Amino acid sequence: MGIELPRHIGFIMDGNGRWATSRGLSRSEGHKAGADAFRRICEYGCDIGIKSMTFYAFSTENWKRPAQEVSAIMNIFRDYLHEAQERKEENAQKGMHMHYMGEREGMPEDILDLFDTAENESVNQTKTTVNIAVNYGGRAEILHSVKRLAHSVAAGELDPDSITEDMITSGLYTAGQPEPDIIVRPSGEQRLSNFMIWQAAYSEFWYTDKLWPDFTTEDFDKVIEDYSKRHRRFGGV
């Protein structure tokens, strides 16, 4: 593309339900359309060489939705992961490493097993890491990291005064990856919604009124073009 690419892009996949409702469809149909957009954007990001992409697919708060809708979303995860298994050779050629990002407690065991299989089988594919944030919350992620340090302090292995920001970062689900350079939120909303709140300290943001199922590769190009024009000062001048 001739311009500097972001190393890590976060996508808040918002607007599936509204997309369906505006078309007289069930919310489940909206989530299926959102899954199609995820595939489209994920593959394009791999093709153009994005190092890391994080897709906010299901938050810890989303369990509050109607049981039928939650069940439909879980089935979409199952379908995608089975499809990924069938396409693992193609994904290997793309250099795609899949990474589950979220709390495991409360998730169906079969879905976790499918995620584990996909992650383990792609561990040596290092061109693009695809983080799928499921049963995820940014505050819970920080708590998970801090608890790990607290156990080390309690065991006498760590002096609490020696704890650094890097130690907390190393306990996050994105450990070893660059922090998100830019976070994309469609659907007209302009908030972070508990998404990578530690990692996003200096992230750029890009908003659009488009609903996620309508997000295209052309929109992706606009994100990258806009990002390339921004001057990131990280608190400097």
Closest CA to 41 of 30, 55, 58, 57: 55
Strand (E) or helix (H) holding 136:
strand 128-136
Q: Could you tell me which residues come within 8 angstroms of residue 44 by beta carbon, excluding any fewer than 6 positions away?
A: 217, 220
Cα(42)–Cα(132) distance, rounded to whole angstroms?
10
221: annotated active-site residue: no
Strand (E) or helix (H) holding 205:
strand 204-207
- DSSP type of residue 26: -
| 8-12, strands of its sheet edge to edge | 96-101, 128-136, 52-59, 8-12, 182-185, 204-207
- Of the candidates 36, 47, 62, 159, the residue annotated as catalytic is 62
Strand (E) or helix (H) holding 228:
helix 217-229
Q: How many other CB atoms are there within 10 angstroms of residue 63's CB atom?
A: 11
Cα(101)–Cα(139) distance, rounded to whole angstroms?
13
Which amino acid does the sequence have at 61? E
14: annotated active-site residue: yes
Instruction: State the catalytic residues.
Output: 14, 62
